[in-house]
Amino acid sequence: MRRFSIAVATAVALGTALSSVPAQAHQGRPALGLANCTAGTCHFDVPPGMYDVRVTLGGPAASSTSVSGESRRSLLPETAAPAGERVTRSFTVSVRTPEGEPTGPDGSPGLDLRIGGSAPALADIRVTPARHARQIFLVGDSTVCDQPGDPYSGWGQQLPQYLGKGLSVANYADSGESTVSYLGNPRLWATVRPLIRPGDLVLVQLAHNDKTTDEATYRANLETLVAGVRERGGQPVLVTPIVRRWFSPDGTLNNGTALLVNGLGVDHPAVVRSVAAARDVPLIDLTAKTKALVESLGVEGSKALYLTNEARDNTHTSVRGATLYAGLVRDELVTRHLVPKGKVRVG
């Protein structure tokens, strides 16, 4: 069983014990701190919005702590603190309804943070409204979304852990969506578009479910999404889809199913690249990046990135795969100067 040392760390740092009293708003400001944590979960009764979270980690013994929140979003990777020392980290989190997939259940109100890791120790926590946060909206499918249950995870669910204070991921990816359905469902694009503010990034990865979408329609749909983001003052970013884990006998991924060529012969990544070039949109070629990674690991090694062993699923990623793929997205955001290097975590 994992050692959970929140109570010990709290007693040392603040001379108080944990309680289960929920955070409440006082004169427009929520009273947010350790008093709202119990048994490894911190609950803050706050309205939807963006919030800055500052955690101080560490205790009498060496510790290693991670933070997740809301719909299984990874917000802080496992962070070590030597015995007797404190480590402070900050991040920004989006609180919204529904808290996970936009067509899913509402989830619990407020902000829920879970303290994990191999030897967790939380010495302090502070949550305040984010005053100057920039949002990264994600428009995508089940390979991107906040998956509701283990062992599934979308790469968008893992992306927040790589970002520091001032950058918030608003994951509006939804399972089963194509460019056609995403534009047509009022709970999706019609909901996301009005939320975009000047300077926000909007990453679009839709292709896996465009199995019967012809090339002209697929191209037009991508262009509609790009135009809609720009009309709101946001920065569109087109993302080619992650590969499916389908190998050819020569040990490379096949040119059809694996590389997202649909039954009509539409090469989705190629169309995305073409639209990005024609419309002067930044491109993250996640197809190329994930292809290189999967092929480098080989037939056996790549199984751990997907749910091959757990569910015979070579399309959806495990937590490990989603985390690695989110790291590829982080690297591209920095390389393409879409996010300042100082705003991301490495490793």
Q: Where are the domains of the chain?
A: 6-129, 134-340
Q: Strands 167-171, 306-307: parallel, antiparallel or unpaired by DSSP? A: unpaired
Alpha carbons 115 and 252: distance in angstroms, whole number: 40
pLDDT higher than 50, residue 140: yes
Q: Could you tell me the pLDDT band of residue 347, with boundaries at 50, 70 and 90?
A: low
Query: What would the DSSP string read from start to end of 161-208?
Result: GGB-TTEEEEE---TT--HHHHHH-TTTHHHHGGG--TT-EEEEE--T
Helix (H, G, I), strand (E, B) or coil at 301: helix
% residues pLDDT > 90 (the chain) = 88
Q: Count CA atoms within 13 Å of residue 340 on its CB side.
A: 7
Residue-averaged pLDDT of the chain:
91
Please give the class, per CATH, of domain 6-129. Answer: mainly beta
Q: Could you tell me the pLDDT band of residue 132, with boundaries at 50, 70 and 90?
A: confident
The token pair that represents 308 in the structure block: 């091959």
Alpha carbons 232 and 200: distance in angstroms, whole number: 9
Alpha carbons 56 and 39: distance in angstroms, whole number: 17
pLDDT higher than 80, residue 6: no
> CA of 148: how far to CAs of 51, 73, 101, 113, in Å?
22, 10, 8, 15
Alpha carbons 320 and 335: distance in angstroms, whole number: 23
Fold of 134-340: Rossmann fold (3.40.50)
The token pair that represents 33 in the structure block: 């701190």
Q: Count CA atoms within 13 Å of residue 85 on its CB side.
A: 10
pLDDT higher than 80, residue 12: no
Query: pTM higher than 0.95 for the full model?
Result: no
